Amino acid sequence: MPAIEVEHIAKSFGKQCAVSDVSFEVNPGEIFGLLGPNGAGKTTSIRIILDIFKPDAGRVAVLGGPMDETKKDRIGYLPEERGLYQDQRLDRVLVYLATLKGLTTSEAQKRIGAWLERFDLAEHSKKKIKELSKGMQQKAQLISTLVHQPQLVIIDEPFSALDPVNTQMVKDLLREERDRGTVVVMCTHQMHQVEELCDRLVLIHQGRAMLYGTLNDIRRSYAGHAVNVRALADLPAALPGVANITRHNGDTRLDLLPGATPQAVLQDLVARGLPLEMFEIAMPTLDEIFIQVVKGQEDAA
Amino acid sequence: MRDIWLVLKHEYMRHVARKGFIFALLSVPLILVVSIRAGFLSVAASMDPKPAAYVDLAGVIQVIPPAAAPSLDSENPFSNVELLPYATEAEARAALDAKEIQAYYVIEADYLETGAVRLVAVDRPNEGLSSQLADILQYNLLSRFPPEVQKRVMNGPVVEVLAMDGSQQMSGANIWGIMLPLGIGLLFFFGISYSSGYLMSALIEEKENRTVEILLTSISPNHLMAGKVAGNLLAGLTPLLVWGGSAGIGLIILMTSLPESARPDVDPNLIWISLLAFIPAFLMIAALMAAVGSSAASESEANQYSGLFTLPLVVPLWFMMLLIDKPNSPLSVGLSLFPFTAPIALTMRASFTIVPFWQIALSIGLLWLTALACMWFAGRAFRLGMLNYGKRLKLKEVFRRSKPTPKLEGGHE
The ipTM, to two decimals, is 0.81
B408 and A81 within 8 Å at the Cβ level: the answer is no
Query: Mutating which of B3, B198, B213, B391 best tests the A interface, going by the most A Cβ atoms within 10 A?
Result: B213
Residue A292 pLDDT greater than 50, yes or no? yes
Residue A146 pLDDT greater than 90, yes or no? yes
Q: What is the residue-level pLDDT of chain B in tens, covering all 413 positions?
A: 788 999 999 989 888 888 888 887 788 778 877 887 787 777 777 777 888 899 998 888 888 877 767 766 655 656 678 888 998 999 999 998 998 888 999 999 898 889 889 999 888 888 778 888 888 888 888 887 888 887 777 777 766 655 555 544 554 445 666 677 777 777 778 777 777 788 888 888 887 777 888 888 899 887 888 888 888 888 888 887 887 777 777 777 766 766 555 555 666 677 788 888 888 888 888 888 888 887 777 777 777 777 787 788 888 888 888 887 788 888 989 998 999 899 888 888 887 777 888 999 999 999 999 988 988 888 777 777 766 655 566 666 666 654 434 343 334 44
Query: Mutating which of B5, B212, B217 best tests the A interface, going by the most A Cβ atoms within 10 A?
Result: B217
Q: Which residue in chain B is spatially nearest to A50 when comparing CA positions?
A: B217
B7 Cα to chain A: minimum distance (Å): 8
Q: Quote the pTM value.
A: 0.70
- Residues in chain B with CB shorter than 8 Å from the CB of A22 are none
pLDDT of residue B273: 83
Q: Which residue in chain A is spatially nearest to B409 when comparing CA positions?
A: A53
Query: Mutating which of A15, A20, A47 best tests the B interface, going by the most B Cβ atoms within 10 A?
Result: A47
SS (H, E, C) chain B: CHHHHHHHHHHHHHHHCCHHHHHHHHHHHHHHHHHHHHHHHHHHHCCCCCCEEEEECCCCCCCCCHHHCCCCCCCCCCCCCCEEEECCHHHHHHHHHCCCCCEEEEECCCHHHHCCEEEEECCCCCCCHHHHHHHHHHHHHCCCCCHHHHHHHHHCCCCCEECCCCCEECCCCCHHHHHHHHHHHHHHHHHHHHHHHHHHHHHHHHHHCCHHHHHHCCCCHHHHHHHHHHHHHHHHHHHHHHHHHHHHHHHHHHHHHCCHHHCCCCCHHHHHHHHHHHHHHHHHHHHHHHHHHHHCCCHHHHHHHHHHHHHHHHHHHHCHHHHHHCCCCHHHHHHHHCCCCHHHHHHHHHHHECCCHHHHHHHHHHHHHHHHHHHHHHHHHHHHHCCCCCCCCCHHHHHHCCCCCCCECCCCC
Of A16, A53, A82, the CB nearest to B407: A53
| A243-247: average pLDDT | 89
Query: How many contacts does A have with B, using Cβ atoms within 8 A?
Result: 88
Q: How confident is the model over A248-271, as pLDDT tens digits?
A: 878 898 999 988 999 999 999 999
pLDDT of residue B279: 84
Residue A112 pLDDT greater than 50, yes or no? yes
pLDDT of residue B399: 61
Residue A176 pLDDT greater than 50, yes or no? yes
